[in-house]
Amino acid sequence: MRRREFLKATGAAATYGLLSGYRRADARSKIEMEQLEEAARKPVLKREYFPDPVVIQSAELLENGGEYVVRVRAMGGAEGYAVSNSDHMGRLYPILTQMVFPFIMGRDARDLEGIVDGVYHYDSYYKYQGLAFWVCVASAEFAILDLLGRIVQKPVGELVGEIYRREIALYRANNSRGLPAEETVELIRKDVEEIGARAAKYKLGGRMGNPEYPPGRSEKLIHLVRKVLGDEIVLYADANGSYDVREAIRIGRMLEETRHSFFEEPCPFDHYGWTKQVADALSIPIAGGEQDSSLWLFQWMIAEDVLQVVQPDLFYFGGFVRCIRVARMAQVAGIPCTPHITGAGLGYLYVLHFASCIPNPGPYQEFKGVNRKIPFECTTSDLEAKEGVVKVPTGPGWGIDLDPKFLEKARRIHA
């Protein structure tokens, strides 16, 4: 129970919102594996809201200023919109326009789970599994969710879960690498103060086994960031797969000493054996999952206690349906699902809705700043972080309306 003792001593149990039923994997029984699978199989979309079919008549991809928007239209004229992950869509759009769009055309949007699962299995599309495929599926799914929300005048969270919270506390994510520790800490301090955040995450190491620069930066940074930000700020550290087992444990001990609250991706994300060794050796919770695309791999990582904070990416993992399945499995194990999101597009908006409708999101959600390139109106929230908290929009769908002029000027991307 070393990890439980660590959480209690550092106050990190409250940081995670860990559920009371959490147990180490060696205390779990085989039936809990079955419970994980059962939790993942439960329906996600509340179909009872939709007595009549919602047949998708058209789907199109629009681009304006490097931002990509999916627009779906149902028979009868209802529309839904989603801003894609624009960092990737410029290279991935043929998968969306040639594979995903043709599959969803003519289907009943009420069968959202069937659409998400069906496109994966259709015509051996599962062979494309990974970020490239699931970003495209998520982009279409988000637009469908917006469509459905607008039809019944409900926010997305009410369509796929219960509304547990109307305000979401944020942790400020800082992506700086390659700078001296002193400069990095100053950037982190400014990021935190800018939105009044009570939590922050920063980068360690050199990413995926590469040497860090300048040498020795991580050791210095770990101690300096705690000294500068003080004891009241919750700290997370992200190595992006920088270390082997021995070095990850050494770094992890420093994080424990300085009362950090999770250690993200200590080893290369796909070296699961190494990550488990690190998790078994340390008390600090290990976070990860942003690069993973297999639901059953998440099941195994949860059951075997490889991760104590799961972080499926809302785009990279394929959207709300699949990420909610992960959240439900994590809930069975009593651990939080704190999704990863990039700073591109409207990722922060989707995180707000996701965190609002699951019971176990953890107390702070990732925030990398607001994309000001996308003009929209939101009448139920200013979407501004105040004292580290943002109000979740309560309007239909995603609760925003994209600027019609922005859409009119966008070019339609053809297959």
Q: For residue 7, what pLDDT is reported? A: 57
Q: Show the CA angle centred on residue 238, arms to residues 234 and 243, nearest 5°.
A: 135
Domain of 77: which CATH number? Answer: 3.30.390.10
- 61 and 146 in one domain? yes
Q: Where are the alpha helices (DSSP H) in 202-242?
A: 217-229
Distance CA 332, CA 342 (A): 27
Answer whether 170's CB lies under 8 Å from 366's CB.
yes
Residue numbers of the chain with a pLDDT score lower than 70 = 1-31, 415
Q: For residue 11, what pLDDT is reported? A: 52
Closest of 198, 283, 197, 286 to residue 239, by C-alpha: 286
Q: Show the CA angle centred on residue 84, arms to residues 80 and 88, nearest 5°.
A: 160
**pTM score of the predicted model:** 0.93
Q: For residue 9, what pLDDT is reported? A: 54
Distance CA 156, CA 160 (A): 7
Please provide the DSSP assignment of 329-373 as one string. Answer: HHHHHT--B--B--SSTTHHHHHHHHHHH-S---S-EEE----TT
Angle between helices 131-152 and 112-121 (to 10 degrees): 160
Please provide the DSSP assignment of 45-94 as one string. Answer: S-GGG--S--BEEEEEEEEETTEEEEEEEETTS-EEEEE--HHHHHHHHH
Of the CA atoms within 13 Å of residue 332, those in its CB half-sphere come to 25
Answer whether 27's CB lies under 8 Å from 4's CB.
no
Residues 6+ apart with CB under 8 A from 2: 283
- 180 and 125 in one domain? no
- 163 and 139 in one domain? no
- 321 and 222 in one domain? yes
Answer whether 248's CB lies under 8 Å from 235's CB.
no
- 150 and 166 in one domain? no
Partnered with residue 203 across adjacent β-strands are: 238
- 303 and 188 in one domain? yes
- 350 and 224 in one domain? yes
Q: For residue 10, what pLDDT is reported? A: 52
- 52 and 36 in one domain? no
Total of domains in the chain: 2
Domain of 201: which CATH number? Answer: 3.20.20.120
The two three-digit tokens of residue 194, written as one number: 């800018």
- 138 and 63 in one domain? yes
- 32 and 107 in one domain? no
Distance CA 355, CA 75 (A): 31
Partnered with residue 169 across adjacent β-strands are: 389
The backbone torsions φ and ψ at residue 202, rounded to the nearest 5 degrees and listed phi first, read: -140, 170
Distance CA 237, CA 204 (A): 7
Closest of 333, 329, 285, 339 to residue 307, by C-alpha: 285
Please provide the DSSP assignment of 235-277 as one string. Answer: EEEE-SS---HHHHHHHHHHHHHTT-SEEE--S-TT-HHHHHH
Q: Which helix (H) or strand (E) holds 200?
A: strand 199-203
- 304 and 273 in one domain? yes
Q: For residue 246, what pLDDT is reported? A: 97
- 280 and 135 in one domain? no
Q: What is the span of the domain harbouring residue 88?
A: 47-154+403-413
